[in-house]
Every structure is written in structure tokens, then in C-alpha cells.
Amino acid sequence: MAQKLERIEPMSWWVGMHNPKLQLLVHGDQIASLQVQLNYPGVTLKEVHKVENPNYLFLDLEIAAETKAGQFPIVFTKEGKKKLSYTYELKNRTQSASRVQGVSSKDLIYLLMPDRFSNGDSKNDVVKGLRETSLNRDSMYYRHGGDIQGVINHLDYLKDLGITAIWMTPEIENDMQHASYHGYAATDHYKIDPRYGSNELYKAYVEKVHEKGMKVIKDIVHNHIGTGHYQFTDLPMKDWLNQWPVYTQTSYRDQPVMDIHASLADRKKMLDGWFVPSMPDLNQRNPYVQNYLTQNHIWWVEYAGIDGLRLDTYPYNDPEYMADWALKIKAEFPNLSIFGETLVNAAASQAYFTGGNTVNRGFDTHLPGITDAVLKDAIYEALNGNPGWTDGIFRLYATLAQDFLYKDVTGNVIFMDNHDMSRFYSMVKEDLGKYKNGLALLLTLRGIPQVYYGTEILMKNYSDPDGKVREDFPGGWKGDKTDKFSASGRSSKENEAFDYFRKLARFRQNSIALQSGKMMQYVPENGIYVYFRYVEGAEKPVMVIFNTEDKTKELKTDRFKERTAAFSAASNVLSGATLDQIKTITVPAKSVLVLELK
């Protein structure tokens, strides 16, 4: 049988990387029957690994520090005769290590699903040769045609709204039979899904975002791939995946990962069980899998100049590998921001996964931040709950009082909803007052705030089997009946919400206190919760007052003199009104006041 070279990954690399080692995955029919040769100054072929499947080789290269950028052939021979050749390119780094800005508490993240945000190029709606060629906007489970160009077309909208960082659900190829739009079942790690665009367009997108003064977060998945991936249909080796005698699903229980009393069986089921049948679980204890994933993520950051990474299903990954991964990524890109998805139920559980917390684990995860689902639940309790010793506003106060668990809580991403959850507006029963209060808390508390697309225009729906939390953004498609990207297409209530969102977000962009200030909170009394954001020695601290009761209150501020003594007046950030004195502040019923002290 004649040999055929299907791919080499990564297909290119760079000189001057921190780590001189590079492992190439070579895939092709019976490729292991060939010998490998290369000759390029500064590049050494250290070892050729043959594995169980003869369609794979793994090549260990070492790239010396003085190596120059250029191209060279990797030659595959048999009995001294050339059979195949691949021209490999080493490029000069594009200064990504310094270009990478990182995402911090100064930012406001906007999460969107590219398939559901805007269709900027109808020519790529259906791509022949892929497994799914249906385009049906009437179904939540088929593709709708949104793409990267659609996002590019609305960058000015996002910038004007006060957004500073954009996080898209995964853009890489998901060539699956059904529900391929969400992006979490990768079938090609090095290729943007052609229904979204191309690698070149993605790189241009990052550049355009940067030109607008915003940042890009890339969503990556360590834990699993899609069944359409070549690594599943032509498995490199048996333990490339976590294999079971019969199909075994994860327990979705994070506790066995951290429980000092946990059984090994429970821990294995959590970590090695498959997420769903269509998403094979990668064995991250396999060193070839480790190299493949780590190099892929480095490749994308260097190629496109990404500013941050969101790590999907973080607790389901092998803990030791993830710690090693974080060190390797940060060695190449010290400014890169990383946060892991940890949808758990306790602050201690969240903190367990964050960097600097080694209690009962014995090693550091080196993970700067997590998605703060516990704070989300506490905000909802403050908005919707009834007062009690540990209920209502006291839940929020008590949750924030546990911030001592984190080495640096400012790296946590705080949010009210995402693509897997009921939307914020529905969770507050479409109560515009509660919506405003929730936004005020989200954009003034510690951490990095993240909002889900459409929050600003009151998009709603619950996370039910119909998937309506992933509806299209109205106006993102030609021929849409309404265009809610413009004020004229929005209802008066939607414009009220939009204007509130925009005003608070844009204020946040200019408030040092909210961007990088410390936080001081006071025990809630008489239904009122008060906290401050401030920078020691700086002007313009922010005072937030949440009256949870259904009547107007007169708040005497003597109790807060630790933070108010140097100030005698304030401005209401949202109404623009000036408070000539702050000894007694009138707080309307069921409302949040955001005051800048003067």
C-alpha cells in the first residue's frame, strides 16, 4: 500500500520560543513504515516515536536558541528512497509575548456564540463535504449561519456599549452530524470551522478587535474532542482516550477531586468518565496527548495574538497535567490571562482549583482565576430571596466574606448567566428593577465581570430542552424583522435597559476604584447592604448601597466613616444627580445606588 501524508501538527512553529522542544504529530497511511530525515541548522531530530497505530509517528525536535526562521523539508524515505516530503516552516515570533495584553478586573467581557450573533457572510452558511449541511434558524439545534465576519461587523456596537473583551464559544472546526454549532466537540484543533471563516479571518478579527482597543479571549477544551475528530476515527493508541469496558459517563461531581475521604473509583469516574457519548474523553496522563494539547494552545496564542484563554470543564481535567500546562503556557506568554470554568457549589471548591491554594492537594494549579458561580448564586439570592440569617442579602455578604480562600480573588470572572444557563432577565422574572440592581452589583463588585450576549437588550428564556437561551441576536441577519443593534429597533423598555447597561459600563471604564480598587463591605442592617470600592490615597471612591426592602429608607452614614470621613458630597453615577451631603442618604425601595464620593 502506498503511503500518504495526511497532516503534520503543529503545521508550523516559531524560533525563539521559551521551550526549545517541539513534538510533531505525523498522520498518514502506514506512515510508521518510513524513515524520517531533516537537515536544518539549529534543528535536531532527537527521536522518532512509533506507536500502536502505524498511521502515526511522533517526532521530537529540539530548536536551538540561535536558530533562524526559514523553511526545510521533512523527508520520509523507504530503503533509502524518498517517498514523501513536507516543507516545514519556522517563523519569527510576532512579539506575541509582549503583544498579549491579558484580561483583568479593568475589563468587561462579552460572551457570544458566533453561530447565533450575526451572519456577516452568507456564502459560508453551508459548506459541502461537512457532515452537517442543514441551516435552520427555526431549530435551536441546527446551525443558523452566524460567523466571525458577523462579529467583526458589530465591533463598534460592542465598543460603544462599554465592552473591553470578547469571548466567543470555540471557533475551531466541529464537523459533527448534529448540534455542531456550539463548538465544544472539536474535530480539527488547528482549523477554524469553515462555516465561521478561516484561520486568516480569525487572525484578522483579533487584529481588528485590538485596533478598537478591545481584547480577545479564546475558549479552549482540554477534556474532550468530538467523535468526528480524526484522532477518534483513527485512534493513535488505545490510551489516547479514557477507555472503559462499557460506556461510562462522568458523575459530574467535583467533590471526589478534592475530597480527602474520596474513593479512587469515584475520582476516576469524575475525571475519566465521558462528558456525553459524542465527546470522547482525552487521557491527559498520556504524554503525547499532553504535548498535543499544550502545543496547540501555544500555537493559537502566538499565531493570532490572543489575550486570554477560558478553559472549558476545568474540574474534569487531570489536575497534575493542568498545573504543568499552566506553567508552560505562562512561560511563553507571561501576560496571558487564564480562567477555568468551575461550575461548583461552594466557595471552598472554587478556591481549591485556583493558584496558590495548596492545602490538602500538595501542588499548585497555577490557575489565576475561575468562573465564580457561587457569587452568581449569591447575587440571585440577594435579588430574589427573602431576608433571613443566611438568606437574601446575607448570602451575598457571607459569600464575599469567604474571599480569604483565594490568593487573588480579582482574577475570578463574575457573571449572571452564560450559554448553558437560564438568562439573567428570566431569572429575575423579567423585573426591570431587579435587572438593574443585578447589573449594578455585577459591574461594581470585585473580579472580572462577564455578560452574555443580549443581556443589554433584555433577551430572555430558561435553560430548558428547547435551548432558547441560545437564540439569535435580533438584527444579526439580513431580513430580520427587527434590528436591536440600533435604538430604533428596540422597545422603550429595551432601550431603558440598554442605556442603563451602557452608562454603568462606560463609567466603569473610567473608574480606578471599580477597575482595580479594594473592596470593603459592611454587615447588612435593616435590609440595607453597603460596600465600597476604593484605592488607598486616591480620589473618587465608589459607594454602593442596596436597599432590599420595599420602602424608601433614610440611611445615616456615621457607621461608614472609615470610608466616608474624607468626603462630603457624592454624585449618583446613573441619574447624574449631585448629593450635596452624605450624612444621610435617601435610598429608594428595592434599588441599588452607585455613588462616586467627592
CA distance 593 to 526: 16
Long-range contacts of 354-361 (CB under 8 A, 24+ apart): 354/406, 354/407, 354/411, 354/412, 355/326, 355/407, 355/408, 356/406, 356/407, 356/408, 357/405, 357/406, 357/407, 360/258, 360/260, 361/258, 361/319
The DSSP secondary-structure symbol of 170 reads: P
Please report how the helices 199-211 and 287-304 are oriented relative to each other, as an axis angle in degrees rounded to 10: 50
CA distance 257 to 365: 13
Instruction: Tell me which residue of 219, 127, 217 sits closest to 171, measured CA to CA.
Output: 219
CA distance 589 to 259: 44
All three cell numbers of 555, joined, read 440611611
The DSSP secondary-structure symbol of 456 reads: G
Q: Which of 254, 281, 307, 341 is catalytic?
A: 341
Annotated catalytic residue 341 = yes
All three cell numbers of 69, joined, read 526562521
CA distance 64 to 10: 18
Place of cell 530525515: 37
Pairing mode of beta strands 109-112, 448-452: parallel
Task: State phi, psi for 196 to the nearest 5 degrees.
Answer: -100, -25
The DSSP secondary-structure symbol of 133 reads: -
Q: Which of 312, 318, 332, 494 is catalytic?
A: 312
DSSP 352-415: HTSTT--TTTSS-----EEB-HHHHHHHHHHHHPPP-SSSTHHHHHHHHTTGGGSS-GGG-EEE
All three cell numbers of 124, joined, read 459560508
Cα-Cα-Cα-Cα dihedral sign, residues 368, 322, 282, 316: negative
Cis status of the peptide bond prior to 256, with omega within 30 of 0: no
CB neighbour list of residue 160: distance below 8 Å, 6 or more residues apart = 502
Q: Which residues are annotated as catalytic?
A: 312, 341
